[in-house]
Amino acid sequence: MSDTLQVPGDTVPQPGRVRVSDLRAALVSGWRDFRRAPSFGIFFGAVYAIAGLGLIWLGAGTFVWTIAICLGFPLFAPFAAVGLYEVSRRIEQGDALDWYQVLGVIHAEKDRQMPWIGAIILIYVLFWSFLSHMIFALFMGLSVMTNVSTSYEVFLTPNGLTMMSVQFLVGGVLAFVLFALTVVSMPLLLDREVDFVSAMIVSFQLVVRNLPVMLLWAGFVAITTILAMIPVFLGLIVVLPILGHATWHLYRQALVPVE
């Protein structure tokens, strides 16, 4: 791990104010970092795309489970973006962009606080998968004679439309809560030696303090990610690296260091 990381006992930064102009600046910086180190961005983006295809395969081609998996897939993104944060951090500090060092930092995170948030994200996704099954059973459980894997018209019935609306509503709320807990806590844990609970609290406080702007950012991230997933997840190869780099810069702009 690079010696530019903060030493143990770092103070926890405090949430600052975020403006729409800060979001634009973060995106511009994210695009600049992607152009500066495209091989890293394409590599990590390809990991996302391959993971997405794997999740679709696990969904066995079933329409309703595909919806649930696609809604849950972006929840993995914060943990997997550690490599992108590290690349942006190295560009910012003028450190060498070396594959061994970048991947070494990701590997080194196993001994720090990052795995705890990874575990929380995993539990969150498992809970969403269970809840999506329950919602499906609640609204579609009486359609026992319908093969929902091939008879898509069942989703155009009142029960089907209601079920999908509830899926999107509940999934959206859960995704936003996780977004609030992780939007800056992940890069904060990479940058400083703080505990994961404090990092998540600061992240949540930042979102609450800047709710309209952070809602805009969450909506932008969600829409661009979903659009990137449409062409067989291939759009993620470009979109997620830019968003990952931009998240690092948003973190740097949004939190106020405490000396």
Task: Please give the structure tokens belonging to residue 232.
Answer: 């067989």
pLDDT at position 208 is 94
Q: How confident is the model at residue 70 (pLDDT cuts 50, 70, 90)?
A: low
Burial bucket for residue 176 (CB in 10 Å: 0-12, 13-18, 19+):
middle
Does the model's pTM come out above 0.95? no
Q: How far is CA 174 from CA 25, 27, 131, in A?
A: 27, 25, 11
Tell me the domain boundaries of the chain: 14-256
pLDDT at position 8 is 43
The residue assigned the tokens 């996780």 is 178
Give the distance, in angstroms, between the CA of residue 243 and the centroid of all CA atoms in the same chain: 9
pLDDT at position 122 is 75
Is the CB of residue 31 less than 8 Å from the CB of residue 242? yes
pLDDT at position 3 is 36
pLDDT at position 4 is 37
Tens digit of each residue's pLDDT (9 = 90 or more) over 173-231: 888 888 899 899 989 988 888 888 999 999 999 999 999 999 999 999 989 988 887 87
- Res. 155: pLDDT tops 90: no
Tens digit of each residue's pLDDT (9 = 90 or more) over 4-62: 344 344 678 889 999 999 999 999 999 999 999 999 999 988 887 887 677 666 654 55
Task: Please give the structure tokens belonging to residue 180.
Answer: 């609030």
pLDDT, average across residues 249-257: 89
Residue 15: beta bridge partners? 255
Give the distance, in angstroms, between the CA of residue 214 and the centroid of all CA atoms in the same chain: 14
Tens digit of each residue's pLDDT (9 = 90 or more) over 100-149: 888 887 777 777 777 788 778 778 777 877 787 788 777 776 655 455 55
Q: How confident is the model at residue 63 (pLDDT cuts 50, 70, 90)?
A: low
